[in-house]
């Protein structure tokens, strides 16, 4: 089976972003969250959500190893219920904390490099397998306030949903992708379309964040895959870009 990878401009496990993301994501906003808009679009398209995730990252400035250690110790004190792990290799040091909730898994990761540039960053992620009103409450009442405490500024939040469509008829990729784009009022910018796989980049005014490209701004990526005749169609959708391979 072929494996397609979205051409992301982010090194997921690397040190720094190579993209410029514009727009403002207001944590205290009373408007629906981006991930809620994605979930509503999936539900309206008769899709089933199997996984969701929120991902935020911020660069840190440490002039010494002691600064990094002090930051990590502070993070551990603020999150005493987390299971903390320390790992290192020739290139970097990493502290990762995990805790499981009824609504999902919460992760904090602090990384610093060993090179002369001494680059550091913190990642805060919340993910789960069920989407319901309790999930939305947990995001609003727990994740977002905690995000505000852990980050100095207003970070960019990457929202992603994976799921399935039960429709097994021919043309399901075209049908479901068009429906999702229509619900989200998104204009298709670039795409790769084959019999069993669709990869689409688009722009929607429903989302405030966007990635500037050569010609237009982009803030939505969608992938759909049909594995064979009579099988379900899997999908992944995210804003402003996808943070996963598909």
Q: Which residue has the higher pLDDT, 149 or 10?
A: 149
- Paired with 128 in beta bridges are 52
Any domain includes 169: yes
**DSSP strand pairing (105-113 vs 211-212):** unpaired
Total domains in the fold of the chain: 1
Range of the domain at 225: 34-239
We report the CATH number of the domain holding residue 123 as 3.30.2030.10
The strand pairing partners of 225, in sequence order, are: 197, 234
Q: Which residues lie across from 198 on neighbouring strands? A: 193, 224
Look at residue 14 and tell me if it is in a domain: no
Note the pLDDT tens digit of each residue in 167-213.
Answer: 766 678 999 999 999 999 999 999 999 988 999 999 999 998 898 88
13 found inside a domain = no
Q: How confident is the model at residue 229 (pLDDT cuts 50, 70, 90)?
A: low
Residue 209, in any domain of the structure: yes
| pLDDT tens-place string over residues 6-22 | 444 333 333 234 444 55
Quick check: is 51 in a domain? Answer: yes
Tell me if 46 is assigned to some domain.
Answer: yes
Task: Flag whether 107 is in a domain.
Answer: yes
Identify whether 16 is part of a domain: no
The residues pairing with 233 across neighbouring beta strands, listed in sequence order, are: 165, 226
pTM for this structure? 0.84
Dihedral angle computed from the Cα positions of residues 41, 11, 94 and 135, in that order, rounded to the nearest 10 degrees: 0
């Amino acid at each position: 089976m072929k494996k397609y990878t979205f051409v992301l401009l982010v090194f997921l496990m690397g040190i720094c972003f190579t993209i410029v993301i514009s727009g403002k994501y207001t944590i205290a906003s009373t408007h629906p969250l981006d991930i809620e808009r994605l979930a509503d679009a999936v539900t309206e398209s008769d899709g089933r959500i199997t996984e969701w995730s929120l991902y935020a990252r911020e660069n840190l400035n440490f002039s010494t190893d002691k600064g990094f250690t002090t930051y990590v110790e502070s993070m551990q004190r603020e999150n005493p219920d987390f299971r903390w792990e320390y790992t290192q290799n020739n290139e970097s040091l990493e502290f990762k904390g995990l805790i499981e909730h009824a609504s999902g898994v919460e992760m904090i990761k602090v990384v610093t490099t060993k090179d002369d540039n001494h680059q550091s960053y913190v990642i805060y992620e919340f993910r789960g397998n069920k989407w319901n009103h309790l999930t939305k409450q947990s995001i609003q009442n727990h994740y977002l306030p905690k995000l505000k405490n852990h980050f100095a500024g207003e970070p960019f939040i990457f929202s992603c949903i994976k799921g399935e469509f039960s429709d097994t008829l021919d043309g399901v990729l075209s049908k479901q992708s068009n429906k999702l784009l229509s619900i989200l009022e998104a204009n298709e910018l670039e795409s790769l379309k084959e019999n069993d796989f669709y990869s689409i980049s688009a722009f929607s005014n429903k989302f405030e964040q966007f990635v500037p490209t050569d010609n237009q701004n982009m803030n939505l990526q969608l992938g759909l895959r049909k594995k064979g005749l009579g099988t379900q169609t899997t999908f992944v959708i995210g804003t402003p870009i996808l943070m996963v391979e598909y």
